[in-house]
C-alpha cells in the first residue's frame, strides 16, 4: 500500500529507490526531489534533531553513478509523465517540482567526485526540462566547503543557477558541540560561509528549538545575531531560512527536544530582519 506523501513523511525509501526520494517540503513549498549521497547513514556531524535512524560518524560511500543516473531519469519521468502524483495522493497545489535538493542521510559534500555528480544531476534535470524552471539546491553543514573538490562543485552548481542552503544553527562553541556535535569553530564556519557566498548563491538555514526545557537561550540568540552582523559585512548573503522541529528526532537526545512556538520564531525573525536580511519562517 502506498501512503500519501506529506510534509511530515521524509522516508528515503518511500519511492523504492536508493538515491532518489520525494519530499513535500515545508521550506520549498511543494515537491522536492531529494538526492541521497549518504546511503550509509554517515555524516561528519551529528545534529541532535536529525531524523536519520542509525546515524554514524563518517563520510558518504562510493556512489554508483549509473544507478543514480537511472533512478533520477526514471523518477523525473514518473513525476512528469506517469501517475506519481495520483499514487501518492499529492494535492493539486503541490503538483509541481519545486526543486532538486541534494541532501539525504548525511553531509553530501563528503562524497568523492562531488563536482562530477553536481554536473551529472544538473545535465539530466536540464535535459528533461526540470531545470531551469525548478530550483537546484545543495543542503549542507558547510564544514567541507574550503576543500577544492567542494569549491569546484559549488561553481558547477552556480552554472546551473543553483543555490546553497548553509546550515548555521549556533554561533557558540558550546551550542555547536551540543546541537551539532562538531568541534569546528565558529570562525571556520564564517570563513566557509564567505567562500560559499563568493562561489554560488547562498542562504543560511537555521534550526531553532527548545533543548532541555530551556527554550531559546538568550546567550545563543545574541551570539547568533552577532554572527549575522559579521556575515552581513563580509558576504553578499541576503536571506535566512528559519525553522523549528516538525518531525521526531532519531537521536538519543530526542526526549529533550521540542519545537519552539510560532511567536518565538516570529520574534527572532524580526530581529534578523532588522539586520537587513530577508527571513523565511517554517514553523
- Domain segments of the chain: what residues? 20-282
Specify whether the CB–CB gap between 235 and 168 falls below 8 A: no
CA–CA gap between residue 15 and residue 84 (Å, rounded): 9
Query: pLDDT at position 33, please?
Result: 96
Tell me the average confidence (pLDDT) per consecutive run of 10 residues in the chain, 283 residues long: 64 79 77 96 97 96 97 97 93 91 96 97 98 97 98 98 98 98 97 98 97 95 98 97 94 97 97 98 83
What's the pLDDT score for residue 13? Answer: 64
Sheet of strand 278-282: strand arrangement: 20-25, 30-36, 97-103, 135-140, 163-167, 201-207, 239-243, 278-282
Of the candidates 95, 86, 172, 80, the one whose C-alpha atom is nearest the C-alpha of residue 127 is 80
In CATH, the architecture of 20-282 is Alpha-Beta Barrel (3.20)
Q: Taking the model in full, what pTM does it have? A: 0.94
pLDDT for residue 130 = 97
111 in Cβ contact with 177 (< 8 Å): no
| DSSP run (H or E) holding 205 | strand 201-207
Q: 526514471: which residue's cell? A: 74
Amino acid at each position: 500500500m502506498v501512503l500519501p506523501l506529506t510534509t511530515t513523511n521524509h522516508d528515503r525509501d518511500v519511492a523504492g529507490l536508493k538515491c532518489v526520494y520525494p519530499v513535500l517540503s515545508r521550506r520549498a513549498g511543494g515537491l522536492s526531489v531529494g538526492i541521497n549521497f549518504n546511503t550509509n547513514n554517515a555524516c561528519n556531524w551529528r545534529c541532535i534533531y536529525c531524523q536519520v535512524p542509525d546515524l554514524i560518524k563518517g563520510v558518504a560511500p562510493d556512489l554508483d553513478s549509473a544507478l543514480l543516473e537511472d533512478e533520477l531519469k526514471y523518477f523525473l519521468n514518473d513525476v512528469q509523465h506517469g501517475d506519481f502524483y495520483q499514487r501518492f495522493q499529492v494535492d493539486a497545489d503541490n503538483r509541481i517540482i519545486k526543486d532538486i535538493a541534494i541532501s539525504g542521510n548525511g553531509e553530501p559534500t563528503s562524497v568523492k567526485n562531488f563536482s562530477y555528480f553536481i554536473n551529472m544531476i544538473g545535465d539530466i534535470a536540464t535535459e528533461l526540462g526540470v531545470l531551469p524552471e525548478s530550483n537546484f539546491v545543495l543542503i549542507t553543514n558547510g564544514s567541507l566547503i574550503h576543500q577544492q573538490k567542494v569549491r569546484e562543485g559549488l561553481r558547477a552548481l552556480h552554472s546551473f543557477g543553483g543555490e546553497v542552503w548553509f546550515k548555521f544553527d549556533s554561533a557558540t562553541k558550546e551550542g555547536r558541540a551540543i546541537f551539532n556535535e562538531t568541534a569546528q569553530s565558529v570562525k571556520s564556519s564564517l570563513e566557509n560561509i564567505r567562500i560559499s557566498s563568493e562561489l554560488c548563491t547562498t542562504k543560511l538555514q537555521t534550526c531553532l528549538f527548545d533543548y532541555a526545557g530551556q527554550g531559546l537561550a538568550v546567550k545563543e540568540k545574541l551570539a547568533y545575531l552577532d554572527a549575522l552582523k559579521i556575515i552581513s559585512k563580509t558576504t553578499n548573503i541576503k536571506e535566512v531560512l528559519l525553522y523549528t522541529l516538525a518531525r521526531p528526532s532519531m537521536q538519543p537526545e530526542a526526549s529533550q527536544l521540542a519545537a519552539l512556538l510560532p511567536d518565538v520564531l516570529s520574534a527572532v525573525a524580526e530581529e534578523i530582519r532588522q539586520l537587513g536580511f530577508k527571513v523565511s519562517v517554517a514553523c
